[in-house]
Amino acid sequence: MNTHRNSLRRYFFVIALAGAALFCGTRARFQAQQKPIPRLANGKPDFSGVWEHSNVASLANNSDVCGGYSNAAGIDTSRPGCKQVGAGPLPYSEAGLAAKKAAADFDQHENCWPWGFMQLFGTPFPHAYVHSTERLVILWEQDNAFMMVPTDGSKFPEDLDPTWRGTSVGHWEGETLVIETAGFNGKAWIAGKDVNSDAMKITQRMSYIDANHIQTEFTFDDPKYYTKPFKNTRIFQRMAKGQELYEYFCHENNRCVGGNCTASDIQKNP
């Protein structure tokens, strides 16, 4: 009888320990998820950090992974945590369809053309933000590209010079940073071989989901190549502490010829 009681006591003791361990593990994960959102000196969200994003082949498609680069050697850099919610079939106008058809036989990337503003957010490689109360600096690993975005409510110049990545201005709406980009030269694609004209305007709304994830909604308005505006939503994931952007040049140091990269060429995020 005593042996039976002792067995029951040991049984319930083990169950209690397991329950306590489960509670502590759940609590630790909850506390990690509840890590405070970083703030600037003015109290606004601070987006500084190195961020992963999805590899976007088309604004029409969805993706549930970060990165997503793979090659013949079997290296796959995709990780969970990022998201790309596509717009579905894009509403091309006749002029837009003609431009897309013309783009089909030419690869801007293999010819080392400058990457466009939206293209840079869709490569397998991460980007970073350096944020202050006056501006947001965007740094992309792809081609070591960058963009300076004033966040004080500045307006576009009256005469925008047409450029590969356009001109960006930003303002705050509560906890959301709204970035408007226009003044494109119409030569760079917006994703894969999704084309845009020089009339394209992109409105970007950035806000934190939690301390390690940003949601960004892009709205595209191009009356020349599309019959109506459309949206695309991304979730960016903060990379582990110590992860930085790699040096990247298209005209040299391009060791991944034909997609045949080695492990040392790929970003690692434990």
pLDDT of 110 reads 72
What is the pTM (predicted TM-score) of this model?
Answer: 0.80
Which pLDDT tens digit goes with each residue over 98-115?
Answer: 999 998 888 787 777 889
C-beta atoms surrounding 50 within 10 Å: 21
Tell whether the model's pLDDT for residue 1 goes beyond 60: no
Average pLDDT, the chain: 85
Tell whether the model's pLDDT for residue 85 goes beyond 60: yes
- As a whole number of angstroms, the distance between CA 239 and CA 77 comes to 13
pLDDT of 264 reads 66
Tell whether the model's pLDDT for residue 30 goes beyond 60: no
Ramachandran region of residue 255, left (φ > 0), alpha (ψ -120 to 50) or beta?
A: alpha
Tell whether the model's pLDDT for residue 15 goes beyond 70: no
Which pLDDT tens digit goes with each residue over 177-228?
Answer: 999 999 999 999 999 889 999 999 999 999 999 999 999 999 999 999 999 9
pLDDT mean over 17-45: 68
DSSP annotation of 257: G
Which pLDDT tens digit goes with each residue over 232-266?
Answer: 999 999 999 999 998 877 654 555 656 666 666 66
Nearest-CA neighbor of 117 among 97, 142, 135, 152? Answer: 142
